A and B are shown apart, each in its own frame.
Chain A
Amino acid sequence: MAYTVLLVDDNTELLDLLAQALEKLGGYTTARAVDGLAGLEMAMTSKPDCMVIDILMPELDGYQLVRTLRGDPETADIPLIILTALAQDKNRFASLASGADIYLTKPISIPELVAAIQQAIAISDAERAQRLKQLASDAEAEA
C-alpha cells in the first residue's frame, strides 16, 4: 500500500506541485493543508505516514505544529520533515529541537525530497516502538 504524505504549506503553488510530483514520481498518496491548524486537524484524523511542513504559516507555525504533534501520543510517531525558506542555523536548531526528524531548506530538488521522505519513514519504522516506550515512561515518571 502506498504511503500517505501530508503536505502543509501556505504557498498553494508549491503545495500543488509537490503533491503532484510526489504522487507521480514517489508513488505516494498525498494530502494537503494550507495552514498549520488545518495540518494538525488532518494529521489527527488521517494519521499520515509522513508529513512535510513549512515553518512560516498562518494560524499555527511549523515549530508549533511539530511540537503539538510530538506532544500527542496519537501523532507522536509520525515522521516529520521541515521544509522551509528559513535557512539560518537557528532555524535548523529550532526545527530539530521541536521534534522534526529532518530539516530541509528550499529550494530542494524533487528526488531529494523523495529520498528524505523515504529516510524519514525508515527512521520511524525503526524508532517508533522506542519513542513510544520513551513517551510512556516519561508519562509514568510524571505520574
Chain B
Amino acid sequence: MMSQSLSAPSTFAQYDLMRRKRLLQVLLPFLIGGSCFTSLDYIVRLLVSAPGQLAFNLASFSFVVITFAGYIWGWRALRRDKINLASTLMIGVATAGFIAVILRRTLLQGLDVSALIEFLLFAAILILISLFGNIPLLIISTILLNGVTAFTILVSASLHPETDILKLAGASRFLVCGLAILFEWIITIFLRAQHISYRKVLHDLGGAFEQLQQLDELKDQFIAHVNHELRTPVMTMRGSVEFALLARDRLTETEREDLLRKALRVGDGLKHLLEGILQVRAIESGGVFDIQPVLVRQTLDDALVLVNPLDGRMNQRDLYVKIPDDLAVQADPLHLQQILANLLSNALKYTPADTAIEISAQKIPAAGNSRRRDIPSEVVAITIRDYGPGIPPDQIPLLFNRFARLPRDLGSRVTGSGLGLYLCRLFAEAMGGKIWVESTGVHGEGAAFHLQLPPATAIPVSLPVQAPQSQKPIQRPDADVSAATPPPKAMATTGPLLVAEPAKGNLMINSYLIPNDLHESQRLDFQHFIMREAFQGNALAPIDHPQHILDVATGTGRWAIEMAREYPDAEVVGVDIVQPAVAYAEPDQPAPANYRFQLANVLDGLPFPDGTFDYVHMRFIGAGMPVARWPEVITDLIRVTAPGGWVELMEAQPMEGGGPALDEVLAKLMEVSRARGIVAVQESQFGAWLRDGGLIDVTARTERLPFGNAQGRLGHYIALDIFTGMRAVGGALAKSGVMDQAVFDLLMRQADEDVHSGRYQCSLPICIAYGRKAGG
C-alpha cells in the first residue's frame, strides 16, 4: 500500500492526493503541538479554578478530549491512505478547537488584545483549509467564524466592559462587526480564487503529462512494430549478400547476380518502409502543405504512374474512371497524388485480379450545417471502389491507424507496412478533408474508399501551368486515349468524361500522345512531320482517290487535315476520345471544310455504319493498349471499311542497335509495359490480324528509320523526339521503383553519346501493314 502510493504519480489526481498527504504529515505535529499547548492551559485552569468556574472549565476540558480523539482518528485514516477523511477530520478538529478557544477566552476575559490576536490567527486556519482544497469546509469555517465574531463583538463585551478595547477606543460596535465579517469573507474569496487557479494549473499539467505518457506508449508500440517489420527483410537482404559471399565458388554468375538483385529489391522495400516512417514523422510534427486548385483527373493520372505495375497484376484489371475533366479540388497536388496512388495500390493488392476497380469523383452537397459561412456548401467526393473481399465492419475503425493491418492480412502473402492508410488520413485531414471507408465485409461486395476535399473553381484543362505536373516532372500515363477500356453499361457517361485505361506501356516510345496542351501538340505535330518525311508522304497504302477517310486516334488532327487538303473531294473524319485542346496546329489557317473531328472511342466500337470509309488509318496506339485487344480493334476498323477500301496501320518498336546503355533503359521500359500486357506489335502479327479479318492484298513490313545525329537530319529529329519522350518518363520509372533516377540519367547520357557519335548504328523499326477489303 505504502510503496504503491510512494511510487511516481501517474495522473494529476494521484499527484494531488500525494501532495495533501505530505502536507498533512508535515502539519500534524504543529496541530497537535498547538492543541497540547492549549490543553495544558485548560488543565492548569481546571486545577486552579474557582468553584464557580469548575463546571465551565470541565466543559472546556472535555472539548480537549474530543479534539485529541479527532486527531487520533485522523491519524489512523492517514495511515490507511484515506487522505480525504484524514484532512477533513484534522482540519475540522483544529478549526473547532480554535473556535472553542476564542469563545472561551472572550467569555472569560472579554474582547481584549489577546482575543484580537486569536482572531487574526484564525485566518491562518482558513489558509490551511484552502491548502487542502476542501472548499465546503472553508465555507463552513468562514460562516462559523462570522458567528463567533458577531457573538464576541456584540455579546461578550458587555460581560467584561472593563477590558473591552472597542469600548475603550469608542468605536461603533456594529460597524466593527460588519467590517470584521467582510474581512473574513475577503480572505475566503481570495483563497478560493487562488485554489481555482492552482487546480487549473495542476489540471493542465496533469493533462499534458497524461498526453506525454500516451505518446510515449504509442512510440513504444511504433518501435515494436518497426522492429517487427524490419526483421524479415533485413534477414533476407543480409542473408542474400552473406550467401553470395560464403558460397562464392559454388554459385554460377547468374545465381550470384540473382542473389544481389534480391538483396537490392528487398533493400528497396526497406527504403520504402523507412520513407513511410519518415513521412509519418514529418506530418506528425507539422508537414508543409501547399494548398492550391488541383484537377482531380490529372492528379489521378499522375498517381497511376506511382502505382507499382506488378501490384495486383494491373495489366489484367479493368479500371473504370468517371471523373469530369474540369473537376478541381483545393489540395496539395503531391499529397493528393499520394493518397490516390495509395488507395489504388491497395485496391489492386487486396482484390482478385479478375475484379474491376471504379474511380469516380463528383461534387456533392456538403453534409452537416451548410449555413455556416466557413463550410463550403459543396464538397468533392472521390470514391475508389473495388469488388474484392471487403473489410469486416468491426475492423474498419482500426484501418486508418498507424501500423494497422487487418488480422486477415497479417499472415497473408500481401505485404504492407501498415502506414499507407494512416498517411492517407493524415494528408486528407491536413488538407481540410476527410477519408473513410464503407464495406459490408461480404466477399465480392468489396469496399468503397471515400475521400472528401473542398472544391476549387474549375481550371481549364488546356492550362497545364496550374496542373500538378508543373511541379514535378512526372510523365502523364495516359496512353493514346483511344486505347480506352469501355465503361460498364451501368456507368452512364455524362458531360466531358474520360474513360481511359492507364497504360504505363505508353512509356515505351510514344510517351506524349494526349494532345492536351500546347507543348504536347507541338511534339505530336513534330512527330507527324518526321513520319511524313521518313515515308515521303502521308498514305502508304496504294489508295486511289478515296472519298471517305477515317483517322482513328487522330490526336491534333494534323494527318487528317493534310489528307483533307490533299483530297479536297473527300470527306475526312478524325476520331479520338478527347477533343484536341489546341484545335489545329496552324491557327492562322482554318481547318478545311471537308475535315471534321468526332469524339469516339475505338474500344467502344466506332460509331459508324458498316462500310462507311474507303480508307481507314490508325497509327501509334499500341503503346497504350494491351496487345490482347488488337484483334477486336482491327475487326472494327475492317467493319467500317467499304468493300475495296484500305486499312492502314503503323506502330513503332523499340530502337535496335543503340548500344548497351540504351538497350538497358529499353529493357526496363518494356518490363514495365509487359507487366501491363503491353508488348510492341510485330509485323507478322499485323499481317496475320489483317488477313484474319478478311483483308486481301495484305502487305506487312518493317522500316528501319535512322536514329541519331550521325545519320543525318532525319536521324537527328527522330532521336530528339524519342529521347525527349523517354527522358520525361525517367521520373516515373524511378517512382515505380524499376530504375533509380540517377542510374536512368547516367544511362541516357551514355545512350545519347552512343547514338549521336555514330559509335552505334541505331535504328527505329516501324511496322507498317495495310490491306484491302475484298469486293468493290
Within 8 A of A (CB), among B253-302: 255, 259, 262, 265-266
A134 adjacent to chain B (CB < 8 Å): no
CB of A115 closer than 8 Å to a CB of B:
no
Are B227 and A24 in contact (CB-based, < 8 A)? no
- B228, A25: Cβ atoms under 8 Å? no
Quick check: is B243 within 8 A (CB to CB) of the other chain?
Answer: yes
The interface residues of chain B lying within 8 Å CB-to-CB of A21 are 239, 243, 247
- B250: Cβ under 8 A from any A Cβ: yes
| Contact status of A110 and B231, CB under 8 A, knowing A17-B236, A58-B412, A58-B413 | no
Q: For the complex, would chain A's binding face be called helix, strand, loop or mixed by DSSP majority?
A: loop
Distance of A130 from chain B, by nearest CB (Å): 33
Q: Report yes or no: B236 in contact with A87, Cβ–Cβ below 8 A.
A: no
Chain B residue nearest to A11 (CB atoms) is B232
Q: Does B234 contact A (CB under 8 A)?
A: yes
B201-244 at interface with A (beta carbon < 8 Å): 224, 227-229, 231-232, 234-236, 238-240, 242-243
Which stretch (A41-49, A67-75, A101-109, A118-126) binds chain B?
A101-109
Residues of B within 8 A of A18 (CB): 239
A12 to B232, CA, bound (A): 11
B interface residue numbers (CB < 8 A to A) = 224, 227-229, 231-232, 234-236, 238-240, 242-243, 246-247, 250-251, 255, 259, 262, 265-266, 410-413
For residue B234, which residues in chain A have a CB less than 8 angstroms away from its CB? 106-107
Nearest opposing residue in chain A for B266, CB measure:
A13
Residues in A neighbouring B236, C-beta threshold 8 A? 11, 13-14, 17
Task: Choose among B232, B240, B242, B243 the residue that contacts A106 (Cβ–Cβ < 8 A).
Answer: B232
**18 cross-chain CB contacts under 8 A:** A10-B411, A10-B413, A14-B236, A14-B239, A17-B240, A20-B255, A21-B243, A24-B243, A24-B250, A25-B247, A35-B411, A56-B410, A85-B232, A106-B235, A107-B231, A107-B232, A109-B242, A110-B246
Known contacts A58-B413, A107-B239; 7 additional CB pairs below 8 A are A10-B411, A13-B236, A17-B239, A20-B255, A24-B250, A61-B411, A110-B239
Q: How far is the CA of A44 from the CA of B432 in the complex (A)?
A: 57
Task: Tell me the interface secondary structure of chain B in the complex.
Answer: helix
Separation of A86 and B121 alpha carbons in the complex (Å): 67
A-side interface size class? 20 to 34
Candidates A59, A87, A109; contact of B227 at CB < 8 Å: A87
Assess the B246–A25 pair: CB atoms within 8 A.
yes
Q: B243 — which chain A residues lie within 8 A by C-beta? A: 17, 20-21, 24-25, 110
User: In the complex where A17-B236, A25-B247, A58-B412 touch, is A87 in contact with B242 (Cβ < 8 A)?
Assistant: no
Do residues A105 and B231 form an inter-chain contact, with CB atoms below 8 A?
Answer: yes
CB pair B262–A13 under 8 Å, yes or no, is yes
Nearest CB of chain B from residue A4's CB, rounded to whole Å: 20
Neighbouring B residues of A76 by C-beta, 8 Å: none
Assess the B235–A108 pair: CB atoms within 8 A: yes
Q: Could you tell me if A17 and B228 are in contact, using CB atoms closer than 8 angstroms? A: no
Chain A minimum-CB-distance residue to B247: A24
The interface residues of chain B lying within 8 Å CB-to-CB of A13 are: 236, 262, 265-266
Contact residues in B for A12 (Cβ distance below 8 Å): 413
Q: Is A96 an interface residue (CB 8 A)?
A: no
A124 to B258, CA, bound (A): 35
In the bound complex, CA of A10 to CA of B413 (Å): 6
Cα distance, A111 to B242, chains bound together (Å): 9
CA distance in complex: A60, B266 (Å): 25
- The minimal Cβ–Cβ distance linking A134 to chain B, given in whole angstroms, is 32
Complex interface residues of chain A between 5 and 19 (CB less than 8 A to chain B)? 10-14, 16-18
Cross-chain contact of A56 among B238, B259, B262, B411 (Cβ < 8 A): B411
The residue of chain B having its C-beta at the shortest distance from the C-beta of A12 within the complex is B413
Whose C-beta in chain A lies nearest to the C-beta of B224?
A88
A85 in contact with B411 given A21-B243, A24-B247 (CB within 8 Å): no
Nearest neighbor of A22 in chain B, beta-carbon distance: B243
In the complex, are the beta carbons of B238 and A107 less than 8 A apart? yes
Task: Report yes or no: A86 in contact with B228, Cβ–Cβ below 8 A.
Answer: yes
